[in-house]
Amino acid sequence: MSNPSFDESSVRGAASREASWPSPQTLPFAPLEGAIKLWWCPLEQKGTIVLSLAATLSPEERERAARFGTSALRERYITGRAVLRQLLGAALSMPPSKVPIARSRRGRPVIAGAPVIDFNVSHTRGIGVFAIGAGLPGHLRIGVDVEHEERQVGVDRLARRLLTPTERQAFLPLSGSERQRRFLRVWTCKEAMSKATGDGLVAPFRAIAVEPGAFPQVLEGPDPYTPDRWRLYRVPMPGAFVLTLALWQS
């Protein structure tokens, strides 16, 4: 397997070989000297385009797509998975259909036989965000989460389940809309962290405290969520979306 590369012509070349590929757009992210790249892409594709994209998926991925209850969910999954394979294939210099996506012990997607590359995906409101790291220092793992600012959630109910007492106190002086926005910023931090570790929804969210500002930080948490093992980044993207990237020293 060749070394991962983020040569932009490789990404464009992979797309041009398949005329129906959606075109993921890069997102600005500078830390780690370009070792991590981010893209976003609309997932709404139809008809023959979806069929051609499905051809690049593994049999297991196509079986999973078939189990979705609606055509919209199925088409978004196929598009998102195909775009991920496009980007990983460009990084690994191989056809998208040949990218060996596997599952780790916790079920987290990884590249089989390529420990120096890591990736993560998030989606909401018909768009997908893709984060890929190549040649990462040490044992860094990536988690990413995106939410739309207008997403309506039961903030007070979820705060009791997912936030620390200190975080809940910070909500008290806020108006309803301010509370909503702050919760989504806190949540993207914690969700991105849980995706980096592979814990998902079983992560100890009520014990992890974060500061969700423009430069988010982990304030406290049990192992492996101790502050010294994490870096959080707020990444700007088009539209009213909140995007957080989490890097974990595993």
pLDDT at 1: 47
Question: Model pTM?
Answer: 0.89
What is 8-136's CATH number, 3.40.50.970, 3.40.50.2000, 3.90.470.20, 3.40.30.10? 3.90.470.20
Spans of all domains in the chain? 8-136, 145-249
Asked, colleague to colleague, whether 8-136 and 145-249 share their fold, the answer is yes
pLDDT tens digits for range 146-157: 999 988 888 889
179 within 8 A of 171, measured Cβ to Cβ: yes
* pLDDT band, residue 189 (cuts 50/70/90): very high
Edge-to-edge, what's the strand order for the sheet holding 25-27?
25-27, 36-42, 127-134, 117-124
Give per-residue pLDDT as tens, 208-239.
999 999 999 999 999 999 999 999 999 999 98
Between CA 232 and CA 212 the distance in angstroms is: 9
pLDDT of residue 9: 55
Confidence of residue 4 (pLDDT cuts 50, 70, 90): low
**pLDDT value at residue 2:** 47
The residue written with tokens 């780790």 in the block is 104
Q: Which two tokens stand for residue 69?
A: 């209850």
Model confidence at 11: pLDDT above 50: no
Contacts of 101 (CB under 8 A, 6+ apart): 58, 84, 85, 88, 109, 110, 111, 112
Quick one: angle between helices 71-92 and 59-66, nearest 10? 160
Compute the average pLDDT of residues 20-36: 79
pLDDT surpasses 70 at 33:
no
Does the domain at 145-249 match CATH 3.40.640.10? Answer given as no
- Position 16 scores a pLDDT of 46
β-bridge mates for residue 118, sequence order:
133
Q: How far apart are CA 181 and CA 176, in angstroms?
A: 9
Distance CA(25)–CA(38), nearest Å, equals: 8
Q: Which pLDDT belongs to residue 23?
A: 87
